[in-house]
Amino acid sequence: MSTAVELQHYISGTWVQGDGGIITSVNPARPDETVAQGLHAGPADVERAMASAAASKQGWARTPAHERGAVLLRAAVIMEENAQLWGLELAREEGKTLAEGRGEVLRAAQIFRYYGNDGDREAGSVYASPRRGEKIFVTRKPLGVVGVVTPFNFPIAIPAWKIAPALTYGNAVVWKPASTVPLLAMRLTQALEQAGLPDGVLNLLIGPGSIGTALVEHPALDGLSFTGSTGVGRTLAAAAAGNGVPIQAEMGGKNAAIVLADADLELATEQVILGAFRSSGQKCTATSRLIVADAVADEFLAGLAATAQSLLVGDPTDPSTQMGPVISGVARESIQRGITTALDQGADLLIGGLPYEDTARVAGHFVAPTILELKGTAHADIWRDELFGPVLSVRRAASTQAAFDLANDSDFGLSAALFTQDVTIALKGMDELDVGILHVNSESAGADPHVPFGGAKKSGYGPKEQGQSAKEFYTHTTTVYLQGSHSSSLRGDSA
């Protein structure tokens, strides 16, 4: 058993104790094992962090883009050098498998590299003017102080894709991570500290959800980026709107995979398994609904159930493990209640569903990979409600259009996967599936840092994340009319 790490906050370039109560991070595979512990941040810490960010924002904004980027590139190297160790800590703290933990640290480094090189990309636009001797420029400026509130399920990658663009575009940041994964938040902050980020440009506050509320209500806040539950996101969005603060929010998902009759069934089986059960289904882009063409449903579901049944579920730090626990006992019980409700509402259980009985997995927060089939058009909450666990609900479709209609039968529109070898159907899916991300012949989860990420309908609010889309949130434009001093004509318009 490893020694528990002492949790600290990072304010104005200094690691400090909090002034709140005790906060403990535990291993979800062995909840009696403490990963990290300390005092959470309190109101005084919030005030100090916001004041520090406000005091540093102007100096950081004036720092040349290449210098800002160099800090991010050095931080990327530090993450890469520590990927093995931090990946192990991530597996212990969050429950991902060892391979996924290491991969997530490397993804965070990739994101920092992408934004670290932003100084070599365009920095504005020039437009033609209808007036002689004049040029019109559109430049971008940072928002100022940005609050970042991140979830537990990607404890270093999601913070990276918010913090990296916020910093590269010249903002100061106050970051509140999920209280269940504070150790990886410290590691990301340490990487930036070691990379030479100036004091006060990034401030880390570990603690309960009330800190996020305090951030969005603080008068020094200039913008808020949030990823988490729909309920919390809407609450923060309402508070931000009331204070005139722009917000970027990525919220729930109930993502569908569609397997049509012409699909490569072996490929579809592999990808649906990955989408539904990797990370124990705790991804906003996870496959939680499956729609299968009638013609291949029996064959496909039999193979899918057998493959899911064979997954090795256990200690995520064991290299042979294919699926670890969910984040907490509260999450496990909520998921089990959702399964029970689905069965009570008429769902057929194909695999899983029942709690584990062996000593090792009973002690941890494990949920068995579960597949439930919904027959006919009967109501089932599981088709619409996000369980955020390794549970897949299935319906059959008599036609391609029926499959698309079932996929769109959701308040959410984050991601979808379509399995077909017909390019015409793939193009039709691009037009008809109302989602922010569509994968054709690959799992519903997964996003690259150089392209937009975000959902449609109630899955997202505000500008998209990642790629150059991030610039739309972390900066605002200034349109500059530059008239030469020797112009012989007067401006004939006014606005």
Q: Catalytic residue positions?
A: 250, 284
Q: For residues 65 and 61, give the distance between their C-alpha atoms in angstroms, rounded to a whole number.
A: 9
**Rg of the chain's alpha carbons, rounded to an integer?**
24
Contact 50, 219 (CB under 8 A): no
Bridge partner list, 465: 453
Tokens for 237, please give them. Answer: 């969005």
Residue of 15, 222, 196 lying closest to 116 (CA atoms)? 196
Phi-psi region of 113 (alpha: psi -120 to 50; beta: other; left: phi over 0): alpha
Nearest 5 degrees, angle CA 42-CA 43-CA 45? 70
Contact 118, 475 (CB under 8 A): no
Q: For residues 386 and 392, give the distance between their C-alpha atoms in angstroms, rounded to a whole number.
A: 11
361 CB contacts (<8 Å, ≥6 apart)? Answer: 313, 314
Q: For residues 64 and 263, give the distance between their C-alpha atoms in angstroms, rounded to a whole number.
A: 51
470 CB contacts (<8 Å, ≥6 apart)? Answer: 115, 161, 165, 169, 463, 464
Q: Starting at the edge strand that comes first in sequence, how are the strands of the sheet with 30-39 ordered?
A: 5-6, 30-39, 22-27
For 65, 138, 237, 378, 493, the CA distances from 386, given in Å and listed in that order, are: 41, 42, 20, 18, 54
Q: For residues 477 and 255, give the distance between their C-alpha atoms in angstroms, rounded to a whole number.
A: 34
